[in-house]
Structure 1
């Protein structure tokens, strides 16, 4: 009995080997028929370049050859379905989509099932078709794996490229190459559903404490920004999170919806600029504002960088000093400088209108009128404690930068 079983097993093995040899001999005809079927049934295939069609032909031929090896000994060639894609270069996944790859596999399998009846003996056809069904499932999983790995690699590369773009903006090196790199990342700089150029603002805050991963945070920030109607580039820089917002003239409204992705502490929004090439101005103010923010513990979150001008000037920000001197002190010196003198007397008197009137020998209503004019001209009201502090610093800086009465030069 044992001898009969052994003889029967040897006979089955020999029959299977013979069937595999016949299938091996038919691979050339199957590969040719596969390319012809793709050209006939897939409209997009004929639109590819000759090089791309050659790559796909190599994959198809590799797949048919791999099927023969797998059919001959499935256990010894269990990894063959995954390896069949090794003949295609990395760019293969950029040439055709996963959906198109599935169409290729389906077309090839259907072609083999329809063709093997003409190439193999009748007894071989059911066995080969059953094996092909099993193999097709493995090929589908292999294709999904290849595209998943390609997506991971692109994601990692995009994250590095995005960090490089944001770093260039922070360091003031935004040029045409930065614009090109941002465009490669899908940056349009425009609000959702709009076209044309847009305004840009840079936002800086502390990085989140939770170990969420740079890519996870960046993806979430971009998604939230798009939902809010803006475009965004995002990068972690050490212990800070930097976001470049595009497509909005009201970045504070957008940042309020993104605040949850920042760590504890201040979030500073730089001034709005016309485009990405000018974003260094916004970035410089935002970074300086984050450095100076501890000087104003009760600052709103988020806070605009221009609201931190006094703290920025005290922390050594020369741009903030010049801005206070030109935009706040400068307008007060127009004419005979009466507005400057009035606000200085008001601040020196501890915020008393009556004391200011007595010191300047004018009516109290005149003081009130002049203080109102100061607020209209500079945007800072002397009667507001926070604005009064800003005016005090601006007066001091203006005097230091322009010591001569009646002259104002920056």
Structure 2
């Protein structure tokens, strides 16, 4: 009967497996030596990350549990749990998964070679049945390898999440100024950045370009811009980057960021190390606030110092504006806007009526007439440097402070 023949075949397979497993358990030290030697000979990662003692002990235990599983019912087998434990351990040690999978392939070779050698020497009459056991032996080791791979990936993801949390915390400490020299040293190591060096900070008001930060969530992440390295971090209302300038310049930074910035941005002055990033971040935010918000704009603080003074002291700037431009601002909207635009053009053109007229599309005499009216309304003269400073600061306040 076919069923009886199949049962007979299964009995032969179980008989060969029991004989082979029992004898291989007696040769565990020899098999462990062979497997450890093969793995370490061809894998620098194992040699560097796993000590010989630990490697041998885990190999001997893994072989013992795996071979014993052949003799046990499924509910008592421990090989898959051991595979999970060992995979977690190797992930925590930083061993590449390719190395772990290569170890399982070599383990299958050593185990199968042990079966073949034993049956050939001691039970040659069972060689036919041995061939039929191959599927069972290799399938068992494949299950262990698949279980180990799945566990390794899961543990690696957990460790990566913890690593990102630490990097995020270190970067936040630097940007908030809540760390000390030890934090700077730890951040330098975690971010692979020099503790001392030329740095700047750039902030970009949200919504911004479809950046890597938005795709990656809140995690800090690196980016390169020429020879400069940027580490981005998402904040509540803006995106911020620590920029390791190296030999780069602020001009190169602004030029490289201009095509991808779609809102207001601020760039700090150059600072000399990671411990100064909190100050640089505040200055970059201040520079960003000097943008009127009418379109994409990158403001360098060193080019916006008067405007930065205005936004840094809004109450005082409002009082200055009321004192200087109060009468002008009380005019009807069309008249007021014409005079403000003329004063702005006059200042941008360094007092050249002809150039200002070109910007305003009017005659130069019209510019003169409007400027004289500004002088009458404000009580300031564009020929006195002190008055020009007051007019310029008040004009910046009108542009930047919505309540003015």
1:282 alignment partner in structure 2:
280
Q: 1:133 aligns with which of 138, 142, 154?
A: 138
1:311 alignment partner in structure 2:
307
Shift of 1:281: 2.2
Q: 1:301 aligns with which of 297, 300, 307?
A: 297
1:170 alignment partner in structure 2:
175
Q: Does the Cα contact within 8 Å between 2:91 and 2:155 map onto a contact in 1? A: no
Q: Does the Cα contact within 8 Å between 1:202 and 1:243 map onto a contact in 2? A: yes
- Counterpart CA distance in 2 for 1:352 and 1:211 is 43
- Counterpart CA distance in 1 for 2:160 and 2:258 is 24
2:271 alignment partner in structure 1:
273
In structure 2, relative to structure 1, the CA distance for the partners of 1:197 and 1:128 (3 Å cut) is farther
Unaligned runs of 5+ in 1: 190-195, 322-345, 354-381, 397-410
Are residue 40 (structure 1) and residue 45 (structure 2) matched? no
Secondary structure in 2 matching 1:198: strand
In structure 2, relative to structure 1, the CA distance for the partners of 1:35 and 1:93 (3 Å cut) is farther
- Counterpart CA distance in 2 for 1:390 and 1:266 is 26
- Counterpart CA distance in 2 for 1:133 and 1:177 is 52
Q: Does the Cα contact within 8 Å between 2:196 and 2:274 map onto a contact in 1? A: no
Q: Does the Cα contact within 8 Å between 1:70 and 1:80 map onto a contact in 2? A: no
1:108 alignment partner in structure 2:
107
Shift of 1:24: 3.8
Secondary structure in 2 matching 1:199: strand
Q: Does the Cα contact within 8 Å between 2:220 and 2:233 map onto a contact in 1? A: no
Q: 1:153 aligns with which of 140, 158, 172?
A: 158
1:54 alignment partner in structure 2:
54
Shift of 1:243: 0.9
Q: Does the Cα contact within 8 Å between 1:30 and 1:112 map onto a contact in 2? A: no
1:360 alignment partner in structure 2:
none
Alignment of 1:56-135 (within 5 A): 57-58=57-58, 61-62=61-62, 65-66=65-66, 69=69, 81=80, 84-87=83-86, 90=89, 92-120=91-119, 121-122=123-124, 123=126, 124-135=129-140
Q: Does the Cα contact within 8 Å between 2:83 and 2:148 map onto a contact in 1? A: no
Q: Does the Cα contact within 8 Å between 1:288 and 1:312 map onto a contact in 2? A: yes
In structure 2, relative to structure 1, the CA distance for the partners of 1:282 and 1:46 (3 Å cut) is closer
Secondary structure in 1 matching 2:112: helix
Secondary structure in 1 matching 2:197: coil
Alignment of 1:20-39 (within 5 A): 20-26=17-23, 28-29=25-26, 31-39=28-36
- Counterpart CA distance in 1 for 2:180 and 2:307 is 31
Shift of 1:67: 6.0
In structure 2, relative to structure 1, the CA distance for the partners of 1:116 and 1:171 (3 Å cut) is same
- Counterpart CA distance in 2 for 1:255 and 1:56 is 56
Alignment of 1:215-226 (within 5 A): 216=216, 222-223=222-223, 225=224
- Counterpart CA distance in 1 for 2:141 and 2:260 is 44
Q: How many residues align?
A: 322
1:173-203 Cα distance to aligned partner (Å, 9 max, x none):
34223223323424224xxxxxx95211111
- Counterpart CA distance in 2 for 1:390 and 1:160 is 48
Secondary structure in 1 matching 2:203: strand
Unaligned runs of 5+ in 2: 318-345, 354-381, 397-404
Stretch deviating more after TM superposition (213-222 or 7-16): 213-222
In structure 2, relative to structure 1, the CA distance for the partners of 1:260 and 1:182 (3 Å cut) is farther
